[in-house]
Every structure is written in structure tokens, then in C-alpha cells.
């Protein structure tokens, strides 16, 4: 009897990925090892590959994040979105250079090039999901250069949030409550807006953290348009459950804590992730998601803080945890660390 499909996440080098020759790959994201790492590597024919310009820590060659579905998958394109879909899930990616929208600086609506690029990316994503009948966004990753820089009258992250929320509204999508897990990071390297995502045919369970104000309810001091994401989502795939934890940082309530202290921020972030695991285990009815079983992607603002962050995570997760470290700017300038995570748990059908 054929085993039911199961979602898999692997972090590995480009050489390891190429030698694996998996037949069930949904999609890949690559992360550059250094400023001098050169142009993006081409992906295998038909497999969507998001090229993210966030350096790997410590300096290394390209690292791949590989999503596999445990069953045959089929590739396609819709506008600028490249995607690959299985029976239950779709992986897609899109890259929009802001130079494509250079005229936005004089747009009659006051929209910046980043806002134009964000609106274009999200409209194309939603059009793809509608055309392929995968209506539910489960997890979204957003990477934009210089996320904390002020230009065109406001911080670029605020501009991104405004454009994302406006695109959600324009496409008839919720902008709070039933919104996907997500991350938004700033690359220290120049490049396009890159968005990649997972979508499904069935709506996930949307989870919030009791230690934190929901991001879509933040007070206006964090921007005129709130971030549109849930703290985590829980989705069924085959006979298993997939947990997607959004980018999580040292925030309690809505305030950043432990300013300037990377180690303390890491500990607070882990406490927030533990709270989300407890929420997931209550919602999943029998699942036992644990810290040690997570695959984590850790964003560190200052490379010099890497040993401190690693020591805290080794103590919390154990030495065998699946973790990659990237240099990236966090959405708030006072945050030094952000952690996202994913886990799969087998459940009875």
C-alpha cells in the first residue's frame, strides 16, 4: 500500500540538494552565502526557486530550503508567479524589482516603488491561487531590501504593510483574523522584492499567541496599516499536520523587550514560540509539537551577535536541532533577532 503524502522541509547545501534528486519537490528558496556569492543559481527545470539575498551565517555557500510533498507535483506559471502543486498544496514564488515601478515616485496616489511592487506581487499571487483553485494562503515569506529605511515619507516596512493590506482588501481577502502565517525581513543586499508562499485547498487553523497582541491589532504607533498575519497556522497535509510559525521576536504585548541584548531577546523569542506550541497542541487534538522537533530559520541583525544567539538556541532546542542562521534586518529597528519555525506531526486519518 502506498504511504500517504507527507510534507517535508529540508535545509541543506546546494550540492546536497542537487545530489538528492528528489522527485517530490514542491519548491525551493536559496539564501546567498555572502555579498560576493555571485548571481542566483538556476533551479531544476519546472521547480520554482526563490532567490533571497540574505547572507548565511557564518559565511557559507548557498543554503537551500526545500519543501517536498511526498507525491507527484506539477509545475506552471501565472504572470510572474512560478508555482508547483500537488493534490493538496501549492508552492509559489515571485520577484518584482522596484525599478519596474520607478514611475511610482510621481504616482498620483502617492505610492512608492515598493508599494507598487508589493501590490503587483500580491495581486498576481491571488490571481494564481484563484486560477489553480488553492484559495487558502497558509504561509508567506516576504523579503525586501532596506526594510527599516525611511523614504517617500515613511519607513519602508510601513509602506509594505500599507500596500499588502490594500491588496488584500482589493482582492476580497481578510486583513485580520483569517490571515496566513508570515515573515517580512530586510535584506542588507540590493535586490527585488521576493515573496514565496504555500497555499492549500483547505483552510488552516489560525493561531495567536496569548503573550502578544495580534499583529493586526497593533496600535497606530507601528504604522497606519497593521501587519496582516497570524502568529501561526496549522494545516492538514495527508494524514499529518503542518505547523507554520511566523517570524517571532522579543515582543510581549505589543512592545519590544530587552533592547540591545541579543541573548535576552533570543530567550524571550523562544518563550513566545513555546506559547505558540502550546496553542497548537491544544488546537490539534492529540498532536505533540515540541521545541526539539522544530526546523528553525533564525535572522540575526548583527553578525557579531551570532555566538550569543547560537548558545541560547542550543540550550533551548538541543544540539541536533535543524537550524539555519541568516543576516537580515528585522521589521523593528530595536529587534536584533527573529525566529521562524515549522514542524510536521503524523496524525491518524
The per-residue pLDDT for range 282-341, each reduced to its tens digit, is 999 888 999 999 999 999 999 999 999 999 999 999 878 899 999 999 999 999 999 999
Alpha carbons 261 and 268: distance in angstroms, whole number = 11
List the grid coordinates of 161: 504593510
Which phi and psi (to 5°) does residue 153 adopt?
Answer: 90, -5
Where the chain has pLDDT below 50, the residues are 1, 35, 104-106, 108, 349
pLDDT at 104: 45
Cα angle: 113, vertex 117, 123; to 5 degrees: 145
Q: Edge to edge, what strands does the sheet with 63-68 contain?
A: 8-13, 63-68, 25-31, 49-52
CA distances from 216 to 100, 200, 269 (A): 29, 22, 19
List the grid coordinates of 82: 512560478
The residue among 331, 344, 276, 258 whose CA lies nearest residue 299 is 331
Q: Residue 170: how many CB atoms within 10 A of its CB? A: 12
pLDDT at 1: 40
Q: What distance, in Å, lies between the first and last C-alpha atoms of the chain?
A: 15
Q: Residue 263: how many CB atoms within 10 A of its CB? A: 16
pLDDT at 40: 54
pLDDT at 57: 95
Alpha carbons 170 and 172: distance in angstroms, whole number = 6
**Domain ranges across the chain:** 8-346
Residues involved in catalysis:
338
Instruction: Give this prediction's pTM.
Output: 0.95
Q: Which top CATH class is 8-346?
A: alpha beta
Cα angle: 167, vertex 199, 290; to 5 degrees: 115
pLDDT at 189: 77
pLDDT at 258: 98
Amino acid at each position: 500500500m502506498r504511504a500517504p503524502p507527507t510534507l517535508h522541509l529540508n535545509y541543506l547545501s546546494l550540492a546536497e540538494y542537487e545530489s538528492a534528486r528528489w522527485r517530490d519537490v514542491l519548491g525551493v528558496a536559496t539564501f546567498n552565502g555572502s555579498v560576493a556569492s555571485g548571481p542566483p543559481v538556476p533551479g531544476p527545470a519546472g521547480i520554482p526557486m526563490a532567490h533571497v539575498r540574505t547572507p548565511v551565517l557564518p559565511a557559507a555557500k548557498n543554503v537551500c530550503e526545500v519543501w517536498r510533498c511526498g507525491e507527484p507535483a506539477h509545475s506552471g506559471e501565472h504572470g510572474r508567479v512560478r508555482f508547483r502543486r500537488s493534490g493538496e498544496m501549492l508552492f509559489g514564488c515571485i520577484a518584482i524589482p522596484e525599478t519596474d515601478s520607478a514611475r511610482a515616485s510621481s504616482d498620483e496616489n502617492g505610492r512608492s516603488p515598493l508599494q507598487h511592487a508589493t501590490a503587483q506581487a500580491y495581486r498576481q499571487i491571488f490571481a494564481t491561487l484563484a486560477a489553480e483553485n488553492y484559495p487558502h494562503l497558509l504561509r508567506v515569506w516576504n523579503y525586501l531590501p532596506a526594510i527599516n529605511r525611511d523614504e517617500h515619507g515613511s519607513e519602508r516596512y510601513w509602506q509594505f504593510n500599507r500596500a499588502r493590506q490594500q491588496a488584500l482588501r482589493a482582492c476580497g481577502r481578510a486583513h485580520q483574523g483569517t490571515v496566513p502565517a508570515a515573515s517580512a525581513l530586510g535584506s542588507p543586499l540590493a535586490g527585488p522584492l521576493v515573496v514565496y508562499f504555500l497555499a492549500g485547498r483547505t483552510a488552516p487553523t489560525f493561531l495567536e499567541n496569548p503573550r502578544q497582541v495580534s499583529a493586526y491589532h497593533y496600535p497606530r504607533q507601528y504604522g497606519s496599516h497593521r501587519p496582516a498575519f497570524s502568529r501561526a497556522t496549522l494545516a492538514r497535509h495527508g494524514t499529518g499536520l503542518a505547523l507554520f510559525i511566523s517570524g517571532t521576536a522579543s515582543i510581549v504585548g505589543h512592545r519590544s523587550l530587552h533592547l540591545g541584548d541579543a541573548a535576552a531577546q533570543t530567550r524571550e523569542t523562544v518563550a513566545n514560540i513555546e506559547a505558540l506550541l502550546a496553542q497548537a497542541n491544544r488546537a490539534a487534538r492529540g498532536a505533540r509539537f515540541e521545541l526539539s522537533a522544530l526546523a528553525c530559520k533564525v535572522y540575526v541583525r548583527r553578525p557579531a551577535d551570532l555566538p550569543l544567539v547560537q548558545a541560547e538556541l542550543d540550550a533551548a532546542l538541543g544540539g541536533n536541532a535543524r537550524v539555519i542562521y541568516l543576516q537580515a534586518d528585522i521589521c523593528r529597528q530595536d529587534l536584533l533577532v527573529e525566529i521562524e519555525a515549522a514542524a510536521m506531526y503524523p496524525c491518524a486519518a
